[in-house]
Amino acid sequence: MRFHFILITILISILVIGLLSGCGPRREPQAQSTFQQEDCEYVVTVLLDLSPSFFNEMTEGGQAYNFNAALLDHYFRERLGTNDQLIIAQISGEKRALLWQGTPLQLRQKFPSATAFGEFLRSNANPNGSLVHDAIAATVDYVLADPNVASGRAKSAIFVLSDMADNGSSEDSEERALDSLKAFGRVGGIVGMYYVDQRLVPDWRTKLKDAGIRESCVEAEIVGTPTLPSFE
């Protein structure tokens, strides 16, 4: 059965539209997860770059906006009533990367308008930095804490919308991020990175390959119409 990667496109679309109204040790839930106990088929995570270097891409007319917004109305209702888990996380100067988790229906109920979601993102972002590696490590570790993901019962994907330019992560953050990605690769996790600074694309492709991520996509900011991976 095909993995519904369209779902991630819809979620990113919601996040992008939501932004139209404006703009040390980790403190994330490190060893615990608040995942629902019911089995779920998919766990999809979007890690959004809310730092100043990427902000324009997340507003109307930006590449990320154009890529995702057109698919929102057509595909969102397909998974609306499921127990699939959606996770929203951020890259900014804020060390607390994880922002929200729930089902597609809960996302709609929690953020009934683009304005509400935009305000939520802005209220949690810190423009004074871009902790790329710290955010990746924290987000992947949290996803791996879900027993559905750890056991392989749920298919899991993490999609990053960022230029991937790190500014301010801790000294060992890159090593921790790669260790987390290796663990994610062992459970068949999928990783997509979009709008990456073209100078960093080869490096991230190598990192994901070395981490054992079998299905991945790393595309530069110059790609006019990025493609999402699709697997049987």
* CA dihedral sign of residues 69, 99, 134, 136: negative
Residues with Cβ < 8 Å from 21, sequence gap 6 or more? 114, 115, 118, 119
The pLDDT profile of the chain, 232 residues, written as one tens digit per residue, is: 444 444 444 454 444 444 333 333 334 444 445 544 567 888 888 898 988 888 667 665 666 655 544 433 433 456 666 788 888 899 999 989 999 998 877 877 887 876 677 778 778 888 889 999 999 999 999 999 999 999 988 989 898 989 999 998 888 999 999 999 999 999 999 999 998 999 999 999 999 999 999 999 999 988 877 776 654 4
Strand order in the sheet with 190-196: 98-102, 85-91, 42-49, 155-161, 190-196, 215-220
Using the structure block, give the residue that is written with the tokens 């068949």: 188
**Under 8 Å between Cβ of 92 and 122:** no
CATH level 3 topology of 6-23+41-212: Rossmann fold (3.40.50)
Domain limits, the chain:
6-23+41-212
